[in-house]
C-alpha cells in the first residue's frame, strides 16, 4: 500500500473548484518576527520565507489557481538596514538563478513588476532572463512585485496617459477605468480576487491599490514562514464563505 502524502496535493474536498479565486495576491509579512522569536537573524526568516513561497506557488498550481502575485520588496523597504537590503537583493537573485529550471519545468510564467531599473544590475539581468525564458508558459502566472509601490504605479499610469493626450494620440474623453487598467503594470493579469496578508497587520501597505478595489481581504496572525498549505486551505475556505457583491445588493 502506498503511503498517502502528507501534503494536500489535490484540492481539498471542502473547497468548490468552481468558486476558487482566479488570482491570489499575498503580502508576505512576518519573516523578521519569525526569526526573532527563535533567536535567529532576520535573514533566516527571509530564507524560510522563500520556502513558503515556493510551496504556495506549487499549491496554487496544483489546485488550479491561475495567477499568484506576491509583494517581495516595496519602494519603502530601501529604508531597512543596508545589510538586510543587500541580503534581500542577493537572495532574489540567487533564488531566481537556482529555481529557473524548475519554473521552466513546471511551466510557470514569471513576471516582475515595479521600478526594476533601480535594482542591482546583476539582479535585473536575472529578472530579464527569467521573464524572457518563461514568457510563453501557461500553467500559472507568477508575478513578483519588487521595488513596487501602488501609488507610484498609479502615477506612472497617469503620466503615460497624459503623454498620449499631449501627443494627440488619445482623447481625454476616452479615459475610463478600462483604459486606466491597461496602463497598470498588471494589465495582463487582472485584479486579485483574494488578498492574503500574514502576521496580523490590518494594512494594505501600498500594494496593488487600484487592483484590490473589490478583492476579498484575508488577514491571518500566522507569520509568513509558517503559512503552509493547511493555512492556505483555511484562507480559501474563508474566501468561499464570502458573498462577493461588487457594490451591488
Positions in the binding site for ligand FPP (CB under 6 A): 28-33, 46, 49-50, 53, 72, 77, 92, 95-96, 144, 199
The residue number with the shortest CB distance to ligand FPP is: 32
8 A C-beta contact, residue 242 and residue 66? no
Task: Compute the least distance from the CB of residue 28 to ligand FPP, in Å.
Answer: 5
Q: What is the C-alpha separation between 196 and 122, in angstroms, rounded? A: 30
C-beta of 149 vs 157, nearer to ligand FPP: 149
The three cell numbers locating residue 93: 537573485
Burial of 103 (0-12, 13-18, 19+ CB in 10 A): buried
Among residues 49 and 157, whose Cβ is nearest to ligand FPP? 49
Nearer to ligand FPP, 161 or 232 (CB): 232
The helix/strand/coil state of 63 is: helix
Grid cell at residue 165: 493626450
Kindly state the smallest distance separating residue 196's Cβ from ligand FPP, in Å: 13
Question: Which lies closer to ligand FPP via its Cβ, residue 21 or residue 49?
Answer: 49
Dist CA 24 CA 21 (whole Å):
6
Q: How far is CA 151 from CA 155, 157, 166, 185, 218, in A?
A: 6, 10, 22, 12, 22
- SS3 of 128-179: the string is HHHHHHHCCCCCEEEEEEEEECHHHHHHHHHHHHHHHHHCCCCCHHHCCHHH
Catalytic residues: 29, 77
Q: If DSSP codes are grouped into helix, strand and coil, which group holds residue 37?
A: coil
Q: How far is it, in rounded angstroms, from Cα 118 to Cα 102?
A: 27
Q: How far is the CB of 229 from ligand FPP (least distance, A)?
A: 17
Closest CB to ligand FPP among residues 29, 153: 29
Determine the Cα–Cα distance for residues 148 and 206; give it in Å rounded to an integer: 8
Nearer to ligand FPP, 85 or 154 (CB): 85
- Indicate left, alpha or beta for 140 from its phi (over 0: left) and psi (-120 to 50: alpha): beta
Amino acid at each position: 500500500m502506498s503511503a498517502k502524502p502528507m501534503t494536500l496535493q489535490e484540492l481539498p474536498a471542502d473547497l468548490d473548484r468552481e468558486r476558487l479565486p482566479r488570482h491570489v495576491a499575498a503580502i508576505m509579512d512576518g519573516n523578521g518576527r519569525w526569526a526573532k522569536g527563535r533567536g535567529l537573524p532576520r535573514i533566516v526568516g527571509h530564507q524560510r520565507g522563500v520556502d513558503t513561497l515556493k510551496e504556495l506557488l506549487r499549491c496554487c498550481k496544483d489546485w488550479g489557481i491561475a495567477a499568484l502575485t506576491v509583494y517581495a520588496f516595496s519602494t519603502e523597504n530601501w529604508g531597512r538596514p543596508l545589510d538586510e537590503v543587500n541580503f534581500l537583493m542577493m537572495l532574489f537573485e540567487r533564488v531566481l538563478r537556482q529555481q529557473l529550471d524548475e519554473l521552466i519545468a513546471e511551466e510557470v510564467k514569471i513576471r516582475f513588476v515595479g521600478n526594476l531599473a533601480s535594482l542591482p544590475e546583476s539582479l535585473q539581468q536575472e529578472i530579464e532572463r527569467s521573464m524572457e525564458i518563461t514568457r510563453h508558459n501557461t500553467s500559472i502566472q507568477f508575478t513578483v512585485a519588487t521595488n513596487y509601490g501602488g501609488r507610484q504605479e498609479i502615477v506612472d499610469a497617469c503620466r503615460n496617459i497624459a503623454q498620449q493626450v499631449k501627443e494627440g494620440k488619445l482623447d481625454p474623453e476616452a479615459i475610463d477605468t478600462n483604459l486606466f487598467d491597461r496602463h497598470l503594470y498588471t494589465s495582463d493579469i487582472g485584479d486579485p480576487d483574494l488578498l492574503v496578508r500574514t502576521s496580523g497587520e490590518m494594512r494594505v501597505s501600498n500594494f496593488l491599490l487600484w487592483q484590490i478595489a473589490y478583492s476579498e481581504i484575508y488577514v491571518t496572525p500566522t507569520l509568513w514562514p509558517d503559512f503552509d498549505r493547511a493555512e492556505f486551505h483555511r484562507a480559501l475556505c474563508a474566501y468561499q464563505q464570502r458573498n462577493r457583491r461588487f457594490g451591488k445588493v
